[in-house]
Amino acid sequence: MTGRLIWKSEKKQLKEFEHIRRTRDREKYGQDGFIISAEGTFQYFGIKYLIKVLRYYRFSDGFMPMSIRRSSFHAVVEYPKESKKYVDMALKRDKYSEFLWHDTLHFYNDLQSIDEQIDECHRLAKKDIDSIFWLRILYCLRIKK
């Protein structure tokens, strides 16, 4: 796996939060939300995926954990444009697919540190990518019969 996560400074995150607090239409978009605190593009077996770390805020309280979560952060896996063909391949196979599309907003992630959540996102992305390579091998074996 190659790539790295690039974090915004705390100062930059606070500045972004304050900008949103001043300019957001609260009736339309509500009193809370997320900002991107870190993001990076990674590559595994030649297939790219994104990991983003999102930070939850409430206008009244600033950055804060959601419910019983350990921190105000959670991580997500997404796919960049150049990996869309693999997502389409997975969709053909499964009819419904979350290929390279995961998050750590589940009850079992509540007590994980953000580093543990990031590690889980890498594991999920690699599992998705590995599933495609197994499909290719199976496909090639069927052709040779």
Q: For tokens 């750590």, what's the residue?
A: 104
Output the pTM of the full model.
Answer: 0.87
Mean pLDDT of 91-96: 76
Q: What percent of the chain has pLDDT over 90?
A: 72
Task: Out of 29-33, 36-40, 81-85, give the one with best mean pLDDT.
Answer: 36-40
Residues 6+ away with beta carbon under 8 Å from 8: 16, 36, 37, 38
Alpha-carbon distances of 44 from 56, 57, 67, 70, 99, rounded to whole Å? 29, 32, 34, 29, 14
